[in-house]
């Protein structure tokens, strides 16, 4: 399937793309922050609330059984999406951030002690730094950081010196949210496993762009959010190997995660429910299921090919602009382009192109340690999704011409 | 395009790209750092106070054209003013940025920043220098009570 042939029809499936900005067509190039939503997904959420809204895993009545079936159906769809071995290794959470906090808290409590080390990389999102830093403050453990080279790729030559017998976990992003670098996570996992160190992969950016296979990666934890792959905000997934989930204490206490409660003793529920306290975001899980079905009908390879064309065209067009510098030129890249123009602050650029209907992200992208290592405060980031077009790349580049005019350079 | 040209008018580009009083002040007796977590902008404001009179003011910053221009114009305007006068100018400036009311008189070059009112997400950029100045002069705490 060739996406470009059907692009008009595909764009019709995303109602938000029809929005006009100051009378101009919206060029939504902020997909790494969140993607727009297909009508099919919006309908699935409305249908749930209109027809089968009930609490899950509780009632014996018709609605509750229907809601439970739909919710557990979403879990099975997610299991298939990431190719997990068992559906009980798939825990619904609020998003990537909550998933990482869950692991840092629960795994940390069980396995991380004073003097231990946690390995991160220079390019992690704050959500894959702060939970680990908090764990260090609680436990007395320390962070070790894998550096990034000038192309925005991980510098892995020194991995043997970074890993040690004190390393308790490695947490690495699959795709950099600001640079687009696709990291060789399989290689990192295999190196870590030689020393029996478990690895968490932050898949927030990966889910929309590349095929995820947790069994092939052999990762111990994989975390992602629905809203960055055309699903709703408010739901995400923690995949964890069963052996870890069995050893980890619960993260939150509440309904659904228990078998039996007395004031003397609590018996926990089986997996995955042990880690899902309280009423989950049922409608959002069902919406995510619908979004994944929508993606599947478009074909994964076709999306990747279309996004590659957009990425290459965008890089080519941006090169025409004087004084433009790219940040992140890795060989293996997702459709995310980060750049600076002269010494003009990214926020000024973002405000100016917004007047031409172009939505880009500007600033540090929750990557302050990475920006510090480059000696910059931020970049302009254009990030593409399956519905973007060549014309939108042109709209961005034409809008950028006006930045120079305004700054009279 | 009117809004954008109004925001980035000549005076703003001038002060934003070639800021005045933009240096460390070794003999300052008050200083403070300000930070805008939204965009990562940083500013350091230095003051030389003689009782309540601002004898000298300077700053160093890493920020957008709006925040740099605002800091530069602020430093020009506040030199020689009393802290009470500075406080009054800030209140008028804040009013200028956050309401649709006609611009108050006596703001001088600060009027050039009026275009920011059409861009609510950028108001923080324009006021960062001023909040940092108030921190440096401790107008946010004890002085306010004494004045």
Q: Which residue has the tokens 């930070």?
A: B35
In this structure, are A240 and A333 located in the same domain?
Answer: no
Q: Which residues contact A215 (CB under 8 A, 6 or more apart)?
A: A83, A84, A85
Q: Is the CB of A407 inside 8 Å of chain B's CB atoms?
A: yes
Q: Helix axis angle, A300-318 relative to A390-406, nearest 10°?
A: 30
Fold of B2-146: Sufe protein. Chain: A (3.90.1010)
Residue A38 has pLDDT above 70, yes or no: yes
Q: Do A191 and A172 touch, CB atoms closer than 8 A? A: no
Q: How far is B55 from chain A (nearest CA, A)?
A: 31
Any idea what the CATH number is for the domain that residue A141 is in? 3.40.640.10
d(CA B6, CA B114): 8
Q: pLDDT band for position B29 (50/70/90)?
A: very high
At which residue do the structure tokens 């619908």 appear?
A290
Residue B145 has pLDDT above 60, yes or no: no
Binding-face residues of A in 324-353 toward B, CB within 8 A: 344-348, 351-352
Whether A36 is covered by a domain: the verdict is: no
A286-308: per-residue pLDDT in tens? 999 999 999 999 988 999 999 99
Detail the DSSP E strand segments found in A99-159.
117-121, 142-146
Same domain, A283 and A239: yes
CA distance A362 to chain B (A): 8
pLDDT-derived band at A28 (thresholds 50, 70, 90) equals: very high
Alpha-carbon span A180 to B44, nearest angstrom: 33
Does residue A125 share a domain with residue A21? no
Between CA A118 and CA A128, with CA A123 as vertex, the angle to 5 degrees is: 50
* Same-domain check for residues A92 and A121: yes
What average pLDDT score do residues B120-145 get?
A: 83
For A22, A155, A381, the CA distances from B66, given in Å and listed in that order, are 22, 37, 20
In-domain check, residue A61: yes
> Are residue A222 and residue A345 in the same domain, yes or no?
no
Shared domain check, A249 and A143? yes
ipTM over 0.90: no
Q: Is B22 on the interface with A (CB under 8 A)?
A: no
Residues 6 or more apart from A207 whose CB is under 8 A from it?
A224, A225, A228, A229
Percent of chain A with pLDDT over 70: 100
Average pLDDT of chain B is 90
Whether chain B has a CB inside 8 Å of the CB on A408: the answer is yes
Range of the domain at A385: 3-30+299-406
Are residues A200 and A340 both part of a single domain?
A: no
| Cβ-defined contact of A406 to B1 (cutoff 8 Å) | no
Give me the number of domains chain A comprises: 2
Any domain includes A305: yes
User: Among A351, A349, A353, which residue's Cα sits nearest to residue A340?
Assistant: A349
Are residues A321 and A256 both part of a single domain? Answer: no
Which two tokens mark B98? 């956050």
Q: Is 60 exceeded by the pLDDT of residue B146?
A: no
Among A262, A295, A328, the domain boundary falls at A295
Q: Please state the domain extents for chain B.
A: 2-146
Say if residue A165 is in the same domain as residue A189: yes
Residue finishing a domain among A249, A264, A295: A295
- For residue B143, pLDDT over 50 is answered with no
Which of left, alpha, beta for A19 (phi over 0: left; psi -120 to 50: alpha)? Answer: beta
Per-residue pLDDT tens over the stretch A356-382: 999 999 999 999 999 999 999 899 999
List phi, psi (to 5°) of A97. -60, -45
Q: Which two tokens stand for residue A212?
A: 């995820």
Instruction: Tell how far CA A334 is from the center of its chain.
Output: 12
Cα of B24 to nearest chain A Cα, Å: 20
**Which tokens is A205 given?**
């950016």
Cα A366–Cα A291–Cα A328 angle in degrees, nearest 5: 30
Q: Please say whether the beta carbons of A232 and A226 come within 8 A.
A: yes
The CATH number covering residue A363 comes to: 3.90.1150.10
Distances (CA, A) of A275 to A88, A234, A242, A253, A286: 10, 16, 12, 8, 19
* Residue A37 is assigned to a structural domain of this protein: no
Angle between helix axes A300-318 and A282-298 (nearest 10 degrees) is 80
Contacts of B17 (CB under 8 A, 6+ apart): A407, B65, B68
Between residues A84 and B120, which one has the greater pLDDT? A84
- Give me A76's structure tokens: 């099975």
Residue where a domain stops, chosen among A248, A273, A295: A295
Q: What is the pLDDT of residues B49-83, one digit of tens each?
A: 999 999 999 999 999 999 999 999 999 999 999 99
Confidence of residue B141 (pLDDT cuts 50, 70, 90): low
Whether A392 maps to a domain, the answer reads yes
Tell whether A274 and A313 lie within a shared domain: no
Window from A155-159, A325-329, B37-41 with minimum mean pLDDT: B37-41
A161 within a domain of the structure (yes/no)? yes
Q: Which residue from B minimizes the CA distance to A367?
A: B40
Residues of A annotated as part of the active site: 366
Nearest to B38 among A348, A363, A371 (CB): A363
Q: Let me know if residue A165 belongs to a domain.
A: yes
* pLDDT per residue as tens digits for the range A383-398: 999 999 999 999 999 9
Q: Are residues A260 and A400 in the same domain?
A: no
């Amino acid at each position: 399937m060739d996406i470009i042939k059907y692009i008009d029809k595909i764009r019709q499936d995303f109602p938000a793309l029809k929005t006009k900005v100051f009378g101009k067509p919206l060029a939504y190039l902020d997909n790494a922050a969140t993607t727009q939503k297909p009508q099919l997904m919006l309908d699935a959420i409305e249908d749930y609330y209109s027809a089968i809204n009930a609490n899950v895993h509780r009632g014996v009545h018709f609605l509750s059984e229907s809601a439970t079936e739909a919710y557990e159906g979403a879990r099975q769809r997610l299991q298939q999406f990431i190719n997990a071995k068992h559906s009980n290794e798939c825990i619904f959470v609020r998003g990537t951030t909550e998933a990482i906090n869950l692991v840092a808290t629960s795994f940390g409590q069980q396995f991380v002690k004073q003097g231990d080390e946690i390995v991160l990389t220079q390019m992690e999102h704050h959500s894959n730094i702060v939970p680990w830093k908090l764990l260090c403050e609680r436990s007395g453990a320390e962070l070790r950081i894998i550096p990034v080279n000038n192309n925005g790729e991980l510098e892995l030559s020194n991995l043997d010196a970074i890993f040690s017998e004190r390393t308790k976990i490695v947490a690495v992003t699959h795709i950099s949210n600001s640079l687009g670098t696709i990291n060789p996570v399989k290689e990192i996992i295999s190196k870590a496993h030689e020393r029996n160190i478990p690895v968490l992969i932050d898949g927030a950016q990966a889910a929309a762009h590349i095929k995820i296979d947790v069994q092939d990666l052999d990762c111990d934890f994989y975390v992602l959010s629905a809203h960055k792959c055309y699903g709703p905000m408010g739901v995400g997934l923690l995949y964890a190997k069963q052996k870890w989930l069995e050893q980890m204490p619960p993260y939150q206490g509440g309904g659904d995660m228990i078998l039996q409660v007395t004031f003397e003793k609590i018996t926990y529920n089986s997996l995955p429910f042990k880690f899902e306290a309280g009423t989950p975001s049922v409608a959002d899980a069902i919406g995510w299921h619908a979004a994944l079905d929508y993606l599947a009908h478009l074909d994964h390879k076709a999306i990747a090919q279309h996004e590659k064309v957009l990425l290459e065209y965008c890089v080519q067009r941006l090169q025409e602009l004087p004084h433009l510098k790219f940040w992140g030129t890795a060989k293996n890249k997702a459709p995310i382009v980060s750049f600076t123009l002269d010494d003009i602050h990214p926020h000024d650029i973002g405000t100016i192109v917004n007047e031409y209907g172009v939505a880009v992200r500007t600033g540090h992208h929750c990557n302050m340690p990475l920006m510090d290592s480059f000696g910059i405060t931020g970049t302009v980031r254009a990030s593409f999704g399956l519905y973007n077009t060549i014309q939108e790349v042109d709209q961005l580049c034409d809008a950028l011409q006006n930045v120079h005019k305004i700054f009279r350079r | 395009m009117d809004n954008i040209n109004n925001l980035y008018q000549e005076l703003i580009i001038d002060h934003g790209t070639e800021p005045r009083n933009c240096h460390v002040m070794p003999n300052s007796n008050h200083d403070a750092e300000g930070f805008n977590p939204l965009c990562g902008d940083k500013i350091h404001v230095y003051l030389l106070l003689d009782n309540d009179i601002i004898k000298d003011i300077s700053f160093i910053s890493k920020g957008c054209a709006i925040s740099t221009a605002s800091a530069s114009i602020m430093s020009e305007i506040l030199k020689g003013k009393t802290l009470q006068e500075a406080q009054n100018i800030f209140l008028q400036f804040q009013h200028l940025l956050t309401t649709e009311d006609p611009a108050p008189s006596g703001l001088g070059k600060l009027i050039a920043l009026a275009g920011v009112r059409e861009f609510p997400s950028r108001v923080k950029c324009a006021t960062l220098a001023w909040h940092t100045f108030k921190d440096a002069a401790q107008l946010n705490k004890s002085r306010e009570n004494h004045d």
